[in-house]
Amino acid sequence: MEELTLTTPALLFSAISLIMLAYTNRFLAYAAIIRNLSDKYLKHQDASVLRQIKNLKLRIKLTRYMQIAGITSLLFCVLTMFLIYINYPIVAVWAFGLGLVLLILSLLFLIWEIQISAKSLQHHLGDIENHFKK
């Protein structure tokens, strides 16, 4: 393996930052949806709305895990750069590796959350189809 330089973890900075921005936007969108569904449920105690709220609860939890793993990955990239700067290359390689593993974990949570989101949208489409069949 080639020597780890400051450039390698620095390259991940922009990627992780963009991923974190996307995660934050997802979180804010879910917050708005939950507020609307909560108001809707208080007006009409509909089981469909309650199902959506439970679904969103899991999606919020996964988004929080995605954010934590992503932020920790970014932290390990910064730590890697610091360790390279103070000339601890072996520890830097391990820190960078751990940062990559956390980034992979964050992306795996994203895949899981996307699967749940897709199922949720399919349920909505089914509800619309059932409404038109009536």
98 or 20, which is more confident? 98
39 or 97, which is more confident? 97
- Tell me the percentage of the chain whose pLDDT exceeds 90: 41
Q: Between the ranges 6-20, 64-78, 113-127, where is the mean pLDDT highest? A: 64-78
pLDDT > 90? residue 83: yes
pLDDT at 1 (0 to 100): 52
Instruction: Annotate the chain with three-state secondary structure.
Output: CCCCCCHHHHHHHHHHHHHHHHHHHHHHHHHHHHHHHHHHHHHCCCHHHHHHHHHHHHHHHHHHHHHHHHHHHHHHHHHHHHHHHCCCHHHHHHHHHHHHHHHHHHHHHHHHHHHHHHHHHHHHHHHHHHHHHC
